[in-house]
Structure 1
């Protein structure tokens, strides 16, 4: 029905002071309808202890936000964050630049490490400093360890070069090469070689003696074109507890000097009458032993051969 209101109430509940009714109203525009006096009002929102808890939670979040903001500002100030880096660390166009002293707690991986032009590079550790070189598979191919008592290098070859790239010292599994013009040994006991030594020249410093010594074994010098021993301003001594043997397989032994002295050479007996008492003859035993005998008009070596064993 147009312009009318229909109210439907539950029968038998008129005694209840507040009665819930459902009204279905259809009106036309401009029609005024009076609302019933008794109608229920529902409040929408959070009230009571729930409201207080909500405000307290919002306040707690605000406090946490302020504390985080203050800690962030403090960390930025302490760590010296800047648009170019952090603290002593600067991000450069060609890499990273670290000024002052820094401590690394774990491994450091870098392609190249170098110091400033006006200062040196110092790597310091409480125990040791280890530098490793690895291949693409992660295996260590070279290692340099600087410890408190020893410097250890693990590699297939160890080489020291000069400023112009000339090898000065090279060590591998086969040999040790010293590329300098002169190897100087300044120890008081000289140099000790357990095996053979190959060198074109062995010399001593000026005004110093050169000694080649083998305390318990023999000393041998071999060269395909000869061995030259020279003393420009002194004498050469060959001392041996046993025998000194000069052997020439294809040639002769030449003693070229103004005077050849054999002070402890065994002398033979006197020669026959009429011999030159001031002259001596050097005789050789079959085993190479030399002895002196008084020279005569002929050889007296056979007469005094009883000296030979």
Structure 2
């Protein structure tokens, strides 16, 4: 508190001070002063608490000049050690694991990898879900370690680049349309079976079809007809014994002979039948079977 008094006096004279004096008080007093001190104290407490929390966060998150926790900033990029959880999308040009460890991507729902072009549109997608693995793109290819193509898929064809395609399922392989291959072979201890349950089975080749069984029989079963057709050549049955046990016997309207020697005859429509063998051909005598 400052008190200012104004008195006018002349040397040699004495005057009494007036009773009314003017006093000016400069400053903050009373409840305003107490509120100001309380506010300053509160700011100091908040400052100390913030400083303590900052130091605690730095120690808990392992902040340092080289990175944060298991995350290290190197000249080649970011190095992350241990398990980490990403709550939002991760954008990176390359993700690789350590030399002596594998890379594991884990998710409770699915793991999706997207590839985008310069306009931001998705050009390829790989989704690993709990029930299926889906890939979307114009071309899918699997290569070996030395760069050889093993499997390739596009909108026009599916290409298998290995030397041997093996199907180990008990039901074999199911093809809804045509199949083009130079060789179909079963394992040494297995049987090869080509079957069409509800449709026809057709085998076409410009230079011939070779069917070979090294240690067994070849059987062709059909509910209706079996046709062997050669457009420019002949049909050759080369074997020690050719058996046709169910060929019909030709007759002249009388009972056939009981002899065991017969002649195979061919009708104009291609049907085969047996006629009793004689000194000459007897097919004309039994031609009525062609009708």
The question of a shared fold, defined as TM-score above 0.5 by the shorter chain, is answered with: yes
| Alignment match, 1:130 | 112
* CA distance in structure 2 between the partners assigned to 1:188 and 1:133 by the alignment: 38
Offset, 1:41: 5.6
Matches within 5 A, 1:279-298: 279-298=261-280
* CA distance in structure 2 between the partners assigned to 1:85 and 1:97 by the alignment: 9
Q: What is the alpha-carbon root mean square deviation over aligned residues?
A: 2.5
| Alignment match, 1:6 | none
Match of 1:262 among 199, 224, 244: 244
* CA distance in structure 1 between the partners assigned to 2:78 and 2:221 by the alignment: 67
Q: Give SS of 2:152's match.
A: strand
Which protein shows a greater Rg?
A: 1
| Corresponding residue pairs, total | 277
Matches within 5 A, 1:203-214: 203-214=185-196
Offset, 1:235: 1.7
| Alignment match, 2:211 | 229
* CA distance in structure 2 between the partners assigned to 1:49 and 1:119 by the alignment: 69
Q: Give SS of 2:59's match.
A: helix
Contact 2:251 2:289 in 1 (8 A): no
Q: Give SS of 1:306's match.
A: helix
Match of 2:179 among 163, 180, 197: 197
Q: Give SS of 1:266's match.
A: coil
Q: Which runs of 5+ in 1 are unaligned?
A: 1-19, 24-33
Match of 1:51 among 18, 30, 33: 33
Q: Given the two structures, how large is their TM-score scaled by the length of structure 2?
A: 0.88
Q: Which runs of 5+ in 2 are unaligned?
A: 9-13
Q: CA deviation digits over 1:278-297, x for unaligned, max 9?
A: 53211001111111112111
Q: Given the two structures, how large is their TM-score scaled by the length of structure 1?
A: 0.83
| Alignment match, 2:11 | none
- 2:69 paired with 1:62: no
Q: Aligned in 2, Cα 1:22/1:172: closer, same or farther, shift over 3 Å?
A: farther
| Alignment match, 1:174 | 156
Offset, 1:42: 4.1
Offset, 1:136: 1.0
| Alignment match, 1:91 | 73
Offset, 1:43: 4.6
